[in-house]
Structure 1
Amino acid sequence: MSAVPPELREWLTTLLQPAVILAGVGLIMKRIDDLRDSLNKRIDDLRADNQRLDGKVDRLVEALAAKALTPKP
């Protein structure tokens, strides 16, 4: 015979199943938030890189335009 009465086991099962499900959902939501934060940081880094590259391209275009406009001997 089991040490835990069937009524208590049924009550604990009924109580614990939603708690386990909620804990699992909470962990999944935390992981999603962590991934979102990581992606947002990566997007910010890529935007900063893009701005730096835009500046370099602008300087290169200006240098090439100045070279093209320079009279050749």
Structure 2
Amino acid sequence: MEEIRAVITGTLHQFKKHAGDEVEKGEVLAEIESMKMLIPVEAPNTGKIVEWSVTEGEFVNENDTIGMLD
């Protein structure tokens, strides 16, 4: 399993993919809002999203684990 991490400090704006979805490396999984900009969180590798450990609207710090990829 591999961690999906926040790329910047901000608010988890929206998930683009959900637990159970198959994703390709580099695919946008979520967006974090920071300073009125939406920053994409990309898949670190090809795999399946196991779970998200945060919810939309939740504040995250850069490098926080926000989900797991298998």
TM-score normalised by structure 2 residue count: 0.12
Comparing both structures, which one devotes a greater share of its residues to helix? 1
- Larger proportion of strand: 2
Higher gyration radius (CA): 1
